[in-house]
Amino acid sequence: MNSRTARGIRIVRRRAALTAIALVVGCSPQENTRGWECIAPANAGGGWDLTCRSVARVLQDLDLSPGLVRTTNLPGAGGGVAFARTVAQRSDDPSLLVAASPSTTLRLAQKQYGPLAVDDVRWVGALGAEFGVLAVAADSPWNDLGDLLAALRSDPTSVVVSGGSAVAGQDHMKVLLLAHRSGINPRSIRYVPFDGGGEAMTALLGGFVHVFSGEGSEVEGQVAAGRLKVLTILAPERVSGPLRDVPTALESGVDVTWVTWRGFYVPGSIDDATYDRWVDVLRQVGSSPEWEVARRANRLDPFFVVGADFEALVKQQVADFEEMSREIGLIR
């Protein structure tokens, strides 16, 4: 088989796979004539939903959008359903914005979206971020990351970790990386996935698990109420606000950071002028006083990257996550 024939077969297979995905998710006609739409690839109340709704309000407040910006919740496959619909049926829709985070890039790195790849969409920008944390109940005998790692070294099966992402998702990856880079076999970690951080937190508070892996904003209220204590924050340096006294993993001698940016992609076949419009729109949102208020209300740290810089960041992150996943043994 020559290279031209092989390439033709790959193209046919790819188109067939996209068609099959489109049929599974029940796609609608691509052109949206009712104003702009933001797809949140999860149920209401999560990070993607909050990202869409917060930015939609600012777009309307700044009079940047042609009317109301609709938020559509499209859960499934860790963002895969929304990604597939965008690629397969709305690839040149100029009115569509889709929320994303490192959960999206991690699944792309692990090929969990089937034949879909990072270049199938265009990455517009990120407007804020938060950092991963590991938390335990207030009465836990562990007071810092060193205590937890010592327990894992002594008997890894005695520690159960909960998180709001699937196995090999970002909440799982945080603790796997911490273990691996501390000389602990990551395959020994017991992880229980839940449908969202709220359920994982409930399991911790109920005494069913020992450690919660999530984001800073998810634990602040429980810390203030005296129900939780945070062992470590996976930030490059200590943060401000309620978690300002929590040491980073780097301070504890473990080289792990986890920045959960909140951003967006758009369909991959839109023209450059439309893409540049979206970049300019997010740039105006990100530099506005209205977004500063929304960002603080959502307990997001500053993280503002748009356009070509964001595309480069995302593609590098996919490559880095693929390397991490191989390092830990999640993919070959």
Using 50, 70 and 90 to split pLDDT, how confident is the model at 184? very high
Q: Which of 71, 80, 197 is nearest to 130 (CA)?
A: 197
Q: What are the residues whose beta carbons fall under 8 Å from the beta carbon of 48, sequence distance 6 or more?
A: 40, 41, 42, 79, 99, 100, 101
State the Cα–Cα distance between residues 250 and 265, nearest whole angstrom: 31
Mean pLDDT across 103-108: 95
CA angle, corner 56, sides to 52 and 58, nearest 5? 125
Mean pLDDT of 188-217: 92
Distance of CA 220 to the CA centre of its chain: 19
How far apart are alpha carbons 200 and 223 in whole angstroms? 15
C-beta atoms surrounding 1 within 10 Å: 7
Distance between CA atoms of residues 166 and 196, nearest Å: 9
Return the sign of the alpha-carbon dihedral for residues 182, 103, 313, 19. positive
Of the pLDDT bands very low, low, confident and very high (cuts 50, 70, 90), residue 257 is very high
Q: What are 9-48's pLDDT values in tens digits? A: 444 445 444 444 444 444 333 334 469 999 999 888 778 9
The DSSP output letter for 208 is S
Give exposure, 11-27, as e/b (b: 16+ Cβ within 10 Å).
eeeeeeebeebbeebeb
Kindly state the average pLDDT of the residues 59-67.
Answer: 95
* Pair 90, 96: CB distance under 8 Å: yes
**Does the pLDDT value for residue 98 go beyond 50?**
yes
**pLDDT value for 34:** 64
Residue 216: what are its φ and ψ, rounded to 5°?
A: -55, -45
Three-class SS state of 98: strand
Alpha carbon distances (Å) from 127 to 43, 167, 244, 274, 299? 21, 27, 22, 19, 12
Strand-pair category, 259-267 with 96-100: antiparallel
The Cβ of residue 269 has, within 10 Å, a number of other Cβ atoms equal to 15
Radius of gyration of the chain from its Cα atoms, rounded to whole angstroms: 20
Structural domains in the chain, CATH included, are 3-129+260-328 (3.40.190.150), 132-243 (3.40.190.10)
In the chain, the percentage of residues whose pLDDT exceeds 70 is: 90
The torsion of the CA quartet 138, 299, 191, 314, rounded to 10 degrees, works out to: -150
Question: Which tokens sit at 235?
Answer: 């930030």
Point out the least confidently predicted range of 30-44, 174-188, 189-203. 30-44
Mean pLDDT, to the nearest integer, of 60-81? 94
Q: What is the pLDDT of residue 231?
A: 98
Those residues whose C-beta lies under 8 Å from the C-beta of residue 23, and which sit 6 or more positions away, are: none
Are 215 and 197 within 8 A, CB to CB? Answer: yes
pLDDT-derived band of residue 202, with 50, 70 and 90 as boundaries? Answer: very high
Is residue 232 within 8 A of residue 249, CB to CB? The reply is yes
Q: Average the pLDDT over 180-209 and give the result.
A: 93
Locate 212 and state its tokens: 């919660």
Mean pLDDT for all residues in the chain: 89
**HSE, side-chain direction, 13 A CA sphere, residue 142:** 22
Helix axis angle, 170-180 to 145-154, nearest 10°: 80
Answer whether 207's CB lies under 8 Å from 250's CB. Answer: no
pLDDT at 332: 83
Q: How many angstroms separate the CA atoms of 221 and 210, rounded?
A: 19
